[in-house]
């Protein structure tokens, strides 16, 4: 066997691979990348050639079918969502999946190439943080300078964030997702990606 031309392979039942190993595997054709972040995250920065299948609308049946001889390398921001998706796929009987350790943050930190679009809107979760922070500062300033009753506004914002964390649904994110700057650049999801009420409207990443 000519070892110089042999393709690298993911060890059997490997739970994860490093970003550099993932790049070598995809470059050789032994694997492909599936990005499970949300569309707003993907359009701002992603690995070239990665297919998008958001974890917020994940289903084992809707996930890309296994390709003989190739491994699906699952990518998210830091590895948490990818690990959950991989675990669900393994529970459904898939043996061809592995997680890219550290997600796209580790991928970029390793000096590997990413497709970046600085003109794309910030991810929704960051827009929500900025909006909530601005509202809290505004209500606090109004309470100090105008009327203490404006402190009720800070309580309203805090309760909204608490409920978003508790339920996984964020009305502020839903409203922001409908803004022109977000809708104008929103990519189309793959045809086999099921849409759910929480898709694109969650605060948790």
Reported as a single tens digit per residue, the pLDDT across 89-129 is 999 999 999 999 999 999 999 999 998 887 766 677 777 88
55 and 131 in a single domain? The answer is no
Specify the pLDDT at position 82.
Answer: 96
Q: Which domain holds residue 111?
A: 16-116
38 and 99 in a single domain? The answer is yes
Distances, alpha carbon 40 to alpha carbons 4, 6, 52, 169, in Å: 41, 38, 11, 16
91 and 151 in a single domain? The answer is no
Specify the pLDDT at position 120.
Answer: 60
Distance (Å, rounded) from C-alpha 42 to C-alpha 1? 40
Q: Which two tokens stand for residue 45?
A: 């920065």
The residues that bridge with 98 in the sheet, in sequence order, are 73
Specify the pLDDT at position 2.
Answer: 46
144, part of any domain: yes
> Residues 76, 170, 203, 204: which is the catalytic one?
76
27 and 58 in a single domain? The answer is yes
112 and 128 in a single domain? The answer is no
Q: Is the pLDDT of residue 198 over 50?
A: no
Q: Is 76 a catalytic residue?
A: yes
CB count in 10 Å sphere of residue 25: 23
Taking residues 173-195, report their average pLDDT. 58
More confident of the two residues 11 and 40: 40
Number of domains in the chain: 2
197, part of any domain: no
Taking residues 154-167, report their average pLDDT. 86
199, part of any domain: no
CB count in 10 Å sphere of residue 73: 29
Contact criterion met (CB below 8 Å) for 35 and 53? yes
101 and 46 in a single domain? The answer is yes
45 and 109 in a single domain? The answer is yes
């Amino acid at each position: 066997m000519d070892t110089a031309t042999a393709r690298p392979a993911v060890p059997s039942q490997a739970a994860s691979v490093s970003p550099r190993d993932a790049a070598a595997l995809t470059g050789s054709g032994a694997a492909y990348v599936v990005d499970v972040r949300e569309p707003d995250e993907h359009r701002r920065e992603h690995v070239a050639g990665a297919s998008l299948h958001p974890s917020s609308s994940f289903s084992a049946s809707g996930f890309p079918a296994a390709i003989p001889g190739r491994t699906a390398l699952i990518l998210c921001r830091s590895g948490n969502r990818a690990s959950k998706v991989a675990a669900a796929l393994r529970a459904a009987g898939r043996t061809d999946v592995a997680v890219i350790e550290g997600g796209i943050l580790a991928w970029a930190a390793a000096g590997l190439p990413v497709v970046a679009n600085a003109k794309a809107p910030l991810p929704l979760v960051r827009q929500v943080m900025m909006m909530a922070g601005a509202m809290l500062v505004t209500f606090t300033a109004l309470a100090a300078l105008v009327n203490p009753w404006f402190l009720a506004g800070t309580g309203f914002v805090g309760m909204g964030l608490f409920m978003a964390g508790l339920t996984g649904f964020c009305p502020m994110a839903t409203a922001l997702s409908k803004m022109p700057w977000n809708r104008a650049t929103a990519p189309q999801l793959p045809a086999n990606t099921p849409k759910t009420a929480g898709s694109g409207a969650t605060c948790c990443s």
